A and B are shown apart, each in its own frame.
Chain A
Amino acid sequence: MELGTFGAIIKFALDIETKIGNFYQTASGIAKDAELVSIFADLIVRGQKRMKTLERVRRENVTEMILEPIIGFESDSYRIDFEIVNDDNLRSMATNIETTLQKFYTTAAIKIDFLIEAAYAFELLAEKNEETIKRFSS
């Protein structure tokens, strides 16, 4: 699906953050590794904050003169597999999720660079994903 408007990008981000929140909720109940459980707990809280951030960005950054179409941004490039096969692959799944999100927000920030505040918010979200990736790999 083409993410052809600012609203479509935010909608996609909200949807994917909701799914990721559900994933971490489920994963935290399955994981045996205490460190992983702790990280997932942090990410559940982070997810709620991110939803609020995205809603605020949507509320505050749309004005009529900047509803110009966005070209060349497809949601298909950011598909995530949420199916948990067993608890052994939770870390790698979570890393994949964070990597995909990091790429999504980085690209989104470039695509909406005409909305400085929104672009900045997306850059910060991408940075947080990067930090989480490091947490998973340490």
Chain B
Amino acid sequence: MISELEVTIVTVEVVKNYINGKWVESKSKETRDVFNPATGEVIAKTPMSTREETLEAIKVANAAFDRWRSTPALTRVRHLNRIRDAFEENFEDLVKTLTLEQGKAIDESRGEYRRTIENLECATSVPSLQMGYNAEDIAAGIDEMVIKQPLGVFFCVAPFNFPAMVPTWFWPFAIGVGNTYIVKPSEQVPLSQVKQFEIIHEIGLPRGVLNMVHGGPEAVNTLIESPDTVGMSFVGSSRVGKLLYKKTGEFGKRSQVQGGAKNFLTIMPDADLEKTVPALVTSFYGCSGQRCLAGGVLLAVGDIYEPLKKMIVEASKKYTVGSGLEEGMQMGPLASKKGMEIVLGFIEKGVKEGAELLLDGRGVEVPGHPNGYFIGPTIFDNVTRDMTIAREEIFGPVIPIIQVKDLDEAIDIIHANPYGNASSVFTSSGKTARDYQYRVKAGNIGINIGVVAPIATFPFSGMKDSFLGDLHGQGRDAVDFFTENKVVITRWF
């Protein structure tokens, strides 16, 4: 087992902003504690940067834009290649910092960093992806073309559940096409971004191209209100996302808002349970249930209900819970005490509203970690569609099971929910699978897949309350979001 103390972390008490290629201490007196969720210890503090500090980051990013956009695309992506290589070289150190501040199992942190690196790799395709198109003789002697141009300063507001990866859904593509950028990490888990920026600093990106400002609402409002920013990418709760989406609209900014989720997993009577159950437990318990692609409700169709229930309880009992830094551990703590209390509240509600607790993860003991934010695998049976645990996002390792009579009833329940991030069906029937992907209103559909996580070359989709905007993060969508299609019509006399 790796001791928490063995992990190299940035030892500064209050993390610094990174503005114009320099580490800058925030003048703000307001800070937020950063905890190790496995022990409850404070490991750093995040400054709530001021409006002036945020404006400074915008100013330098804006000043860097003209020179950066005129840098040849292949030169720009060489920087991304160097960052990618440096992330690979520092892989284990990055991974341990991520687990230290976020709590997730070390393998899950490795998985997150693999995705982080894949985004950088994908963004190096920008010289091809950014190419426009043209047509000759749209009228006699007149040609027309589209140029995909960068726009200026973009920024992201990142979440606490994937603090290393999510910013790379955006900034590698944004700066790859010639924009400049500001990352606003989650104030709860800033260390992964600090670690990444330390590496990026060594690479030597031109000053002002990529900046980082820590903080809360004041920093975010400043970023949105400034006339010198052009667009926002947000990942977090739907409640905050809706407010920010409205505000970016008022200020005439582009935005893409990835919100909450309640992902329904439908298990058909013809599903291969031996293969399905491992996928299901990973979906519900992976990252302690704190991901927008986590399973939210298990819909057991017809006769599969009893054997499925039995197998999933057995598999859940074997799921190991402990410090994420311990190799082979399958589930770490919740990322915060507040998050843990919210999940405990949902479990209480489930009991009060009449669901039957088949497996109770409350009070799970992890030796050596009495103050960690741990909740073990939890399963509810006899859940009805109107119960709170069947409707709302729990963001914890809880499986509510609902028995339904057929696929139509399952889809009816799915469509009654306001979210539409992901949904999966487990079946041996191609017809059922086709029917599911055709009918279900969710942005990411899984066929015999528990965690429907699109790779970097595909958009991370989402529908209904789970996504506001039209262009998603990652892949071609990202290139389109970060560029404007300028049309040029040419006639030479």
Q: A-side interface residues toward B, CB under 8 Å?
A: 3-8, 11, 58-69, 71
| B281 nearest CB neighbor, chain A only | A69
- Considering only residues 80-110 of chain B, those with a C-beta below 8 Å from chain A are 88, 91-92, 105-108, 110
Chain B CB within 10 A, most for which of A7, A60, A63, A65: A65
- Considering only residues 280-300 of chain B, those with a C-beta below 8 Å from chain A are 281-282, 286-287, 291
- A64 with B330, Cβ < 8 A, contacts A7-B110, A59-B88 known: no
Q: A residues within 8 A CB of B455?
A: 63
- A63 with B114, Cβ < 8 A, contacts A4-B318, A7-B106, A7-B327 known: yes
Interface size on B, residues (CB 8 A): 33
Q: B residues within 8 A CB of A62?
A: 107, 110-111, 114
Q: A-facing mask of B224-239, CB < 8 A → 1, else 0? A: 0000000000000000
The complex places the Cα of A64 from the Cα of B452 at a distance, in Å, of 9
Q: A residues within 8 A CB of B287?
A: 64
Give 8 nearest A-B pairs by CB, closest first. A8-B328, A7-B107, A64-B111, A68-B278, A11-B327, A62-B110, A65-B451, A62-B111
Q: A-facing mask of B265-288, CB < 8 A → 1, else 0? A: 000000000000011011000110
Give, as a whole number of angstroms, the nearest-CB distance from A11 to chain B. Answer: 4
Q: B residues within 8 A CB of A71?
A: 278
**Residue B382 lies at the interface, judged by CB distance under 8 Å to chain A:** no
Q: A-facing mask of B460-479, CB < 8 A → 1, else 0? A: 00000000000000000000
Number of A-B contacts (CB under 8 A): 71
Query: Which of B118, B286, B315 makes the CB contact (< 8 A) with A67?
Result: B286
Give, as a whole number of angstroms, the nearest-CB distance from B101 to chain A. Answer: 18
Chain B CB within 10 A, most for which of A6, A7, A59, A67: A67
Query: Which of B106, B318, B320, B450 makes the CB contact (< 8 A) with A68?
Result: B450
Give, as a whole number of angstroms, the nearest-CB distance from A128 to chain B. Answer: 24
| A7 nearest CB neighbor, chain B only | B107
**Residue B453 lies at the interface, judged by CB distance under 8 Å to chain A:** yes
Q: A residues within 8 A CB of B453?
A: 63-65
Query: Which of A11, A58, A60, A65 makes the CB contact (< 8 A) with B449?
Result: A65
The complex places the Cα of A8 from the Cα of B110 at a distance, in Å, of 13
Q: B residues within 8 A CB of A68?
A: 278-279, 281-282, 450
Q: B residues within 8 A CB of A59?
A: 88, 91-92, 110, 114
Query: Which of A11, A60, A65 makes the CB contact (< 8 A) with B328?
Result: A11
Contact A69 B110 (CB under 8 A): no
If A4-B320, A67-B107, A68-B279 are given as contacts, then 20 extra A-B residue pairs at C-beta distance below 8 Å, sorted by A number, are A3-B328, A6-B107, A7-B107, A7-B327, A58-B110, A59-B91, A59-B114, A60-B114, A63-B111, A63-B453, A64-B115, A64-B287, A65-B450, A65-B451, A67-B111, A67-B282, A69-B278, A69-B315, A69-B330, A71-B278
The complex places the Cα of A7 from the Cα of B88 at a distance, in Å, of 17
| B291 nearest CB neighbor, chain A only | A64
